[in-house]
Amino acid sequence: MSLYRDEGVVLRTQKLGEADRIVTILAKRTGKIRAVAKGVRRTTSRFGARLEPFTHVDLQLHTGRTLDMVTQAETIRPYGEALTADYPRYTAGSAMLETADRLTHGEKEPALRQFLLLVGGLRTLAERGHEARLVLDAYFLRSLAVAGYAPALDACAKCRAPAIRAFAIVAGGVVCGACKPAGSAVPAAETIGLMTALLRGDWATADASETRHRSECSGLVAAYLQWHLEHGIRSLRHVERELRERTTTVPASIGSDTAAHPP
Ligand SMILES: [Zn+2]
């Protein structure tokens, strides 16, 4: 057995036996790690709450034959504390953790850019400077881009023509009139502008956007993300329910694009 150190964000935990947990961590240098935390569910655990989801921790681990073992954990930033008190921010953060888990496939395959995006996204959420759903959509767009699924936003995804007519999930972004598949969403130009701003980190433009364009953007980004992940992101359902409670202007044509996706 060999010892190694890394820092990472706890993505999820599962019970193991009477008092232990398997902790899934997205670590800065190592990539995704699944490790056993012994005795973590006892009230006297030396780990305390340091191995709960959302926590950015500094870790020491032992390499094991199947699973590694956490031997030390020190909190760097407990993002969970800032998020649990605010339900929209908590659900947005949960969707980030789940997306980071889904977009990093193998264990111990370095995913530094995904790690940095996740830490940046959680920090931005916790700082409360921007609306939670905007922070989440920015995170979705950028993590998809890092994974190689950036949507085309400035020219037709199929023929690169500059005249944009619609947004087609199956085509990979905006499309021209000639390439537009049946049932494509036809979002407002401002909605595509908002997606571009979120992808680039242009917060001045994003914060100034109107609610209806934010709603349309969220609907498109969620459908686009789900298409690429093949299955729905569980936490997203909670976010979408909140969104529905606040607004009713989700583009009607999204459903047809999503339904075109094979099960
Ligand atoms: Zn085209």
Fold of 3-80: OB fold (Dihydrolipoamide Acetyltransferase, E2P) (2.40.50)
What is the whole-number distance in angstroms between the Cα of residue 160 and the centre of ligand 1?
Answer: 6
In whole angstroms, what is the distance from residue 153 CA to residue 172 CA?
9
Contact 143, 101 (CB under 8 A): no
Cα 155 to ligand 1 centroid, rounded to whole Å: 8
* Ligand 1 center to 156 CA (angstroms): 5
Tokens 């980071």: give the residue. 100
Query: What is the token pair recorded at 168?
Result: 């087609």
Residues near 152 by Cβ (< 8 Å), separated by ≥ 6? 171, 172, 173, 174
What is the pLDDT at residue 230?
Answer: 73
Q: What are the residue ranges spanned by the domains of the chain?
A: 3-80, 130-259
Confidence class for position 255, pLDDT limits 50, 70, 90 = very low
Q: Please give the torsion angle defined by the CA atoms of residues 83, 135, 88 and 52, in that order, rounded to the nearest 10 degrees.
A: -30
- Least confident range from 54-63, 161-170, 217-226, 249-258: namely 249-258
CA of 165 to the centre of ligand 1 (A): 9
Range among 80-89, 191-200, 244-253 with highest mean pLDDT value: 191-200
Strand partners, 58: 7, 74
The DSSP string of 70-82 is EEEEEEEEEHHHH
One-letter amino acid for residue 213 of the chain:
H
Q: Distance from the CA of 161 to the center of ligand 1, in angstroms?
A: 5
The count of C-alpha atoms lying within 13 angstroms of the C-alpha of 9, restricted to the half-sphere facing its C-beta, is 26
Confidence of residue 148 (pLDDT cuts 50, 70, 90): confident
Using CA atoms, how far apart are residues 90 and 125, in angstroms rounded to an integer?
A: 9
Is pLDDT of 7 > 90? yes
Mean local confidence (pLDDT), 67-83? 94
Q: What value does the mean pLDDT take over residues 128-148?
A: 95
Q: 14 forms bridges with which residues in the sheet?
A: 22
* d(CA 196, ligand 1 centre) in Å: 19
- Cα separation, 10 vs 51, in Å, equals 6
